[in-house]
C-alpha cells in the first residue's frame, strides 16, 4: 500500500473517494456475488456504472440534497451500490436492520422523515409495506424484485434504467463536503429507544484515514478480500467492511445468509473478516466440540500445539517444533476459513483475552477495536504490528481520549457525530464541551493502550454497597466449555445470580460421557445433575475473584438469547434491561 494509494486527505466525500478508486482500478474486482455455486466478480467499472444510473434515477425522481432515504436490504452488492448512489447526490442514507419488526421500521422512518425507502423483496418488502401505512412522509418504495401489486412499490430497475447525466451528477457531487450529513445511523438500542446518530462524510473519512496506522492492506490486483455478513446497517460493518475496502481498491464478497458463512468462507476465500466476539466464541466452541470426537492422540496433539503456540518461545528447536505442528494441525484448521484468512477485525462487544489468544495460536490474529456509532465508529484499534489482548488498542487519527474522574472514557475528534437527529436533549447529554461521553469505564496505559472494564450503566451495586462489573464475571463464565451465554444479576441484592444458556452439543456430550439416561434437551437443562455440574465449574472459575463477585445460584435456559427473541442487538450484544424484565420472575425465584 503506497502513500499515493492511501492519501485521501484531499477527498471531500465518500462517493468522491469511491469514484477516484474506480477510475484507477476500473477492471479490478470490487465485489463478489455467489452465482451457480461460485463467487463471480463485479468490477469497479461495473459497480460505478450502476451507482451513476441509480443516482441519476433518484435525481429524476425528485430527491433533493439532504433528503433521507431508507435502505432495508440484506448484505448484497446492491446494498453498497444504492448506498453510494444516495450519498453521491447529497442525500442521506438511513439504514434499517433486517431484523426490525414493522413497528421498529415505522419508528425510524417517521423519526427520520424519510421520503423514499428501498428494499429487496419477500418478507422485508411485506414488513416495509406494513410499516409505511403509518409513515406519511414515505412517497415511494423501490424493490429489487417487485412481487407486490401495491401502487407505492416501484422496481429499482426503473431507477437504474435512467440515462446518466454527468453534469447533473457532478454538480451534486461538487456540493458535498466533509461537513455534509451522510447518514442517520440508528443505535441498536441495548437500553432505550434507538436514536438517529448524525454522521457526516468527514466523520467517516476520518476513520478511513486511520487505517494505515493500524494495518497494511494488500492493494495489489489480487489483494485483500472481505466477506460481508454482519449487518451493513451497523456502523462497524459499514465503515470497516464497506467504505474502507471500496476506498482502497479492495474487494468484498457477500455471504448468502448467517447460516451459510462457513460454506461461503470456503468458496470466497476472504483474507479479512469483520466479526463480533460472539461469532468467535461460536467458532471456537465448534472447533473444540469437533475435536472431542477425534481420537485421543489427535486431541493431545491439538492441545500441545495450542500450548506451544501461546508460549511462542524463541529458540531453534522450539521454532522448528512449532512450524511442524502448524503444518500438521494449524493449516488444517485455517483451511476451514478458506485458506487465505490473515486477520479478524473485531469490535461491538468485549473480547476475552483467552479467546483472542486461541485465534492467535491457530494463526489468525484478532485486531480488537473499540468505538461507538457516535464515533463513526472507530476510536481505538490494536495495531497489527503490536496487538495486546485485553486492550482495545490505541487512538485513531485525530482522536483524543481522556478518563473522567469517575472512570468514564471521553472522546473528542473529527470523527465524533454532530448529535442525535431530532433529539437536542440527548445530544446535549452525550456531547459536553465537544467531548463524547462514551458510557464506558476504563483506563489508558502509559503507552496509550485503552482497556475497557465495563459499561457505566451496567455496574451492579449489591446490597452491601460493592460495585461489581458484570462483564468481568460473565467474561470469566463463558470460558467454561459447557456455558454458551450468561447474564448475571444482583443489583441491591445480597449475592449474584445468573441466567445461563448452556452449550447444547457440549452438554449432551458430557451427559453421554457420564452415562446419564437419554433425555431431551429441555429435561437435561432442568436436571439437578447438570445444574450442579455447572455450578461447581462456576465456583472454580470465580474462586480467584472477590467473594461478592461469586455467583451463588443459576437458572439454565434451553433456548439461547437471540436477535429474533429481542434479547440481543443486531450485533449480538445483550439487552440487559429487556432480559431483566422478561425473566424477572425467574430471577426473583433465585433469591427465595
Q: Where do the domains of the chain lie?
A: 3-203, 277-339+342-456, 459-589
Residue 368 pLDDT > 50 = yes
What average pLDDT does this structure show over 493-501? 95
In sequence order, the 6+-apart residues with CB closer than 8 A to the CB of 409 are 401, 402, 403, 438, 440, 441, 442, 450, 452
Closest CA to 140 of 67, 201, 206: 67
What average pLDDT does this structure show over 344-365? 91
Residues 507-527 have pLDDT tens digits of 998 998 888 887 789 999 999
Residue 315 pLDDT > 80 = no
Among 61-65, 114-118, 348-352, 543-547, whose mean pLDDT is lowest? 348-352
SS (H, E, C) 379-412: EEECCCCCCCCCCCCEECCCCEEEECCCCEEEEE
Cα distance between residue 525 and residue 165, in whole Å: 64
What confidence score (pLDDT) does residue 187 get?
A: 86
Residue 272 pLDDT > 70 = yes
Residues 24-47 have pLDDT tens digits of 999 999 999 998 889 999 999 999
Confidence of residue 305 (pLDDT cuts 50, 70, 90): confident
What confidence score (pLDDT) does residue 415 get?
A: 98
Cell numbers for 349, please give them.
462487544
Residue 571 pLDDT > 80 = no
What confidence score (pLDDT) does residue 472 get?
A: 87
Cα distance between residue 578 and residue 574, in whole Å: 9
What confidence score (pLDDT) does residue 3 get?
A: 39
What confidence score (pLDDT) does residue 486 get?
A: 95
Cα distance between residue 362 and residue 37, in whole Å: 29
Q: Are 366 and 280 in contact (CB under 8 A)?
A: yes
Residue 191 pLDDT > 90 = no
Residue 324 pLDDT > 60 = yes
What confidence score (pLDDT) does residue 329 get?
A: 87
What confidence score (pLDDT) does residue 239 get?
A: 97
b/e sequence 553-587, b meaning 16+ C-beta within 10 Å: ebbbbeeebebeeebbbbbbbbbbebbeeebeeeb
Percent of the chain predicted with pLDDT > 90: 72
Q: Are 475 and 350 in contact (CB under 8 A)?
A: yes
More confident residue, 481 or 17: 17
What confidence score (pLDDT) does residue 320 get?
A: 75
Residue 271 pLDDT > 70 = yes
72 forms beta bridges with 96, 119
- DSSP letter assigned to residue 225: E
Residues 46-103 have pLDDT tens digits of 999 999 999 999 999 999 999 999 999 999 999 999 999 999 999 999 999 998 989 9
Residues 572-582 have pLDDT tens digits of 888 888 999 99
What average pLDDT does this structure show over 1-19? 75
User: Helix (H, G, I), strand (E, B), or coil: what is residue 346?
Assistant: strand
Q: Between 44-60 and 166-174, two packed helices, what is the crossing angle to 10 degrees?
A: 90
CA angle 347, 277, 413 (to 5 degrees): 10
What mean pLDDT value characterizes the chain? 91
**What topology is assigned to 459-589 in CATH?**
GMP Synthetase; Chain A, domain 3 (3.30.300)
Q: Is residue 360 packed enough to be buried (19+ CB in 10 Å), middle (13-18) or exposed (0-12)?
A: middle
- Give me the sign of the Cα torsion angle 546, 574, 508, 520: positive
What confidence score (pLDDT) does residue 521 get?
A: 92
User: Helix (H, G, I), strand (E, B), or coil: what is residue 418?
Assistant: coil
Q: CATH homologous superfamily for 3-203?
A: ANL, N-terminal domain (3.40.50.12780)
Cα distance between residue 588 and residue 410, in whole Å: 36
What confidence score (pLDDT) does residue 318 get?
A: 61
Q: What's the pTM value of the predicted model, to 2 decimals?
A: 0.87
In sequence order, the 6+-apart residues with CB closer than 8 A to the CB of 368 are 346, 347, 351, 356, 381, 382, 387, 389, 391, 392, 393
Cα distance between residue 396 and residue 403, in whole Å: 16
Torsion of Cα atoms, 287 then 292 then 296 then 299, to 10°:
20
What confidence score (pLDDT) does residue 4 get?
A: 39
Q: Do domains 3-203 and 277-339+342-456 have the same CATH topology?
A: yes
Q: CATH homologous superfamily for 277-339+342-456?
A: ANL, N-terminal domain (3.40.50.12780)
Give the length of the chain: 592
What confidence score (pLDDT) does residue 248 get?
A: 96
Residue 210 pLDDT > 90 = yes
Cell numbers for 184, please give them.
442517520
Residues 236-259 have pLDDT tens digits of 999 999 999 999 999 999 999 888
What average pLDDT does this structure show over 328-342? 91
What average pLDDT does this structure show over 381-397? 95
Residue 137 pLDDT > 50 = yes
What average pLDDT does this structure show over 383-395? 95
Amino acid at each position: 500500500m503506497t502513500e499515493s494509494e492511501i492519501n485521501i486527505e484531499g477527498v471531500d466525500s465518500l462517493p468522491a473517494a469511491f469514484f477516484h478508486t474506480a477510475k484507477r482500478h476500473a477492471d479490478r474486482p470490487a465485489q463478489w456475488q455467489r452465482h451457480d455455486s461460485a463467487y463471480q466478480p463485479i468490477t469497479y467499472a461495473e459497480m460505478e456504472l450502476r451507482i451513476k444510473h441509480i443516482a441519476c434515477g433518484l435525481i429524476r425522481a425528485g430527491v433533493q440534497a439532504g433528503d433521507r432515504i431508507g435502505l432495508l436490504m440484506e448484505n448484497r452488492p446492491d446494498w453498497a451500490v444504492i448506498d453510494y448512489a444516495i450519498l453521491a447526490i447529497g442525500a442521506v442514507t438511513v439504514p434499517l436492520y433486517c431484523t426490525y419488526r414493522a413497528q421498529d421500521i415505522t419508528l425510524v422512518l417517521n423519526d427520520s422523515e424519510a421520503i423514499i425507502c428501498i428494499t429487496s423483496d419477500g418478507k422485508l418488502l411485506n414488513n416495509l409495506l406494513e410499516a409505511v401505512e403509518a409513515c406519511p412522509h414515505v412517497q415511494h418504495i423501490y424493490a429489487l424484485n417487485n412481487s407486490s401489486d401495491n401502487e407505492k412499490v416501484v422496481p429499482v430497475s426503473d431507477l437504474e434504467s435512467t440515462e446518466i447525466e454527468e453534469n447533473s451528477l457532478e454538480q451534486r457531487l461538487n456540493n458535498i463536503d466533509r461537513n455534509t450529513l451522510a447518514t442517520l445511523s440508528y443505535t441498536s438500542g441495548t437500553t432505550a429507544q434507538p436514536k438517529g446518530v448524525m454522521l457526516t462524510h468527514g466523520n467517516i473519512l476520518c476513520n478511513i484515514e486511520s487505517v494505515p496506522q493500524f494495518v497494511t492492506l494488500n492493494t495489489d490486483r489480487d489483494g485483500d478480500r472481505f466477506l460481508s455478513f454482519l449487518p451493513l446497517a451497523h456502523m462497524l460493518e459499514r465503515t470497516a467492511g464497506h467504505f474502507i475496502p471500496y476506498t482502497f481498491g479492495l474487494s468484498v464478497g457477500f455471504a448468502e445468509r448467517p447460516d451459510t458463512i462457513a460454506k461461503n468462507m470456503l468458496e470466497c476465500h476472504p483474507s479479512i473478516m469483520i466479526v463480533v466476539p460472539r461469532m468467535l466464541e461460536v467458532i471456537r466452541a465448534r472447533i473444540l466440540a469437533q475435536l472431542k470426537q477425534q481420537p485421543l492422540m489427535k486431541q493431545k496433539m491439538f492441545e500441545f500445539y495450542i500450548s506451544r503456540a501461546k508460549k511462542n518461545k524463541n529458540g531453534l528447536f522450539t521454532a522448528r517444533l512449532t512450524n511442524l505442528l502448524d503444518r500438521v494441525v494449524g493449516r488444517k484448521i485455517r483451511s476451514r476459513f478458506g485458506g487465505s484468512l490473515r486477520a479478524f477485525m473485531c469490535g461491538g462487544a468485549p473480547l476475552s483475552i483467552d479467546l483472542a489468544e486461541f485465534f492467535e495460536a491457530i494463526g489468525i490474529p484478532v485486531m480488537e477495536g473499540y468505538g461507538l456509532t457516535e464515533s463513526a465508529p472507530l476510536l481505538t484499534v490494536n495495531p497489527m504490528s503490536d496487538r495486546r489482548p485485553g486492550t482495545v488498542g490505541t487512538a485513531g487519527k485525530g482522536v483524543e481520549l481522556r478518563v473522567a474522574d469517575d472512570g468514564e472514557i471521553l472522546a473528542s475528534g473529527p470523527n465524533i457525530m454532530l448529535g442525535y437527529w431530532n433529539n437536542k436533549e440527548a445530544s446535549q447529554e452525550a456531547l459536553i464541551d465537544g467531548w463524547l461521553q462514551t458510557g464506558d469505564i476504563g483506563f489508558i496505559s502509559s503507552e496509550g493502550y485503552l482497556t475497557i472494564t465495563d459499561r457505566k450503566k451496567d455496574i451492579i451495586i449489591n446490597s452491601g454497597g460493592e460495585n461489581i462489573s458484570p462483564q468481568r464475571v460473565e467474561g470469566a463464565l463463558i470460558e467454561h466449555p459447557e456455558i454458551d451465554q450468561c447474564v448475571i444479576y444482583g443489583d441491591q441484592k445480597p449475592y449474584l445470580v445468573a441466567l445461563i444458556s448452556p452449550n447444547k452439543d457440549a452438554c449432551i456430550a458430557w451427559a453421554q460421557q457420564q452415562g446419564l439416561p437419554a433425555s431431551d434437551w429441555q429435561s437435561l437443562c432442568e436436571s439437578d445433575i447438570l445444574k450442579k455440574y455447572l455450578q461447581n465449574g462456576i465456583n472454580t472459575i470465580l474462586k480467584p475473584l472477590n467473594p461478592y463477585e461469586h455467583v451463588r445460584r443459576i437458572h439454565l435456559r434451553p433456548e439461547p438469547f437471540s436477535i429474533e427473541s429481542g434479547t440481543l442487538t443486531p450485533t449480538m450484544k445483550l439487552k440487559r434491561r429487556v432480559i431483566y424484565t422478561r425473566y424477572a420472575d425467574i430471577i426473583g425465584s433465585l433469591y427465595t
